[in-house]
Amino acid sequence: MPNIDEKEKKRFLFLNMLYKVINGRENLPVNMFVIGKFLNLDLNYVMNIVEYLEGEGLVKSKAFGGFIAGKVAITHKGIKEIEDAYNIPNKATQIFPPNIIYVMGDFVEGRKVMGDNFENINNSTIINKSNVQNAFNKVTDEFDEATGNALLRVANEIEKSKDPTASILFNSFTEELSNPHPDKERLKSFWNGIDKVLPTINSIAEVANKIIPLFIPN
């Protein structure tokens, strides 16, 4: 079992990546277990982290279906914890000790994490092929095959980029898109996040022309 410093470090790493993935927007749920995979954390450890962070008011999970749904979102308090930790590193936040971003020699900067088992985080992507297939089938039926192909093009570009943040956002995008009545505001937020970390995506004409209409209000 890791000691308390190790627990605090991994709690911070999880919260930090959640913050980066959703660009600091509160109450936008993503898959907690995908984040855990990128941090080399097993399912039980992820659930322990989320349970602790939710108890401290830094994230919400139960409101989005809890561990069964696998959803987690950062709260306003969680956003403040991350921003305070970076703005004044040598001062304790309400939850984390001083210099948490440097714990045990690790330094977190954006999506770069050095030390322990986290050095390969930027060399790993996890695209949920089932989500992509479901979303492809849906948009092909409801729009056209060209829209479905544009979605596959995005998946391929993200796979090639090996960007973990883009992967998590795209998984959330395709999962939301597969719902019977997808929330267009969520789709827009996920897509804007993808565009921020991979701005070349929207420069591909077939992608911009076909994907953006998916979240434009009727």
Question: How many structural domains does the chain have?
Answer: 2
Query: Does 108 share its domain with 144?
Result: no
In this predicted structure, the answer to whether residue 119 has a pLDDT above a threshold of 50 is: no
In this predicted structure, the answer to whether residue 14 has a pLDDT above a threshold of 60 is: yes
Q: What is the reported pTM?
A: 0.67
From the list 82, 81, 69, the residue with the least C-alpha distance to 172 is: 69
The pLDDT tens digits for 135-173 are 999 999 999 999 999 999 999 999 888 888 888 889 989
Q: Which of 98, 120, 142 is the last residue of a domain?
A: 120
Helix (H) or strand (E) holding 93, with range, is none
Range of the domain at 157: 129-215
Report the CATH number that the domain containing residue 80 is assigned in CATH: 1.10.10
pLDDT at residue 107 in the model: 38
In this predicted structure, the answer to whether residue 117 has a pLDDT above a threshold of 70 is: no
From the list 26, 87, 30, the residue with the least C-alpha distance to 58 is: 26
Query: Does 35 share its domain with 93?
Result: yes
Query: Does 88 share its domain with 133?
Result: no
Query: Does 90 share its domain with 178?
Result: no
DSSP states along 137-179: HHHHHHT-HHHHHHHHHHHHHHHHHT-HHHHHHHHHHHHHHTS
Return all residues near 199 (Cβ < 8 A) that are at least 6 apart. Answer: none
Query: Does 152 share its domain with 72?
Result: no
Q: Phi then psi for 15, rounded to 5 degrees? A: -65, -40
Average pLDDT estimate for 98-103: 77
CA 205-206-211 angle, to 5 degrees, is 105
Query: Does 146 share its domain with 86?
Result: no
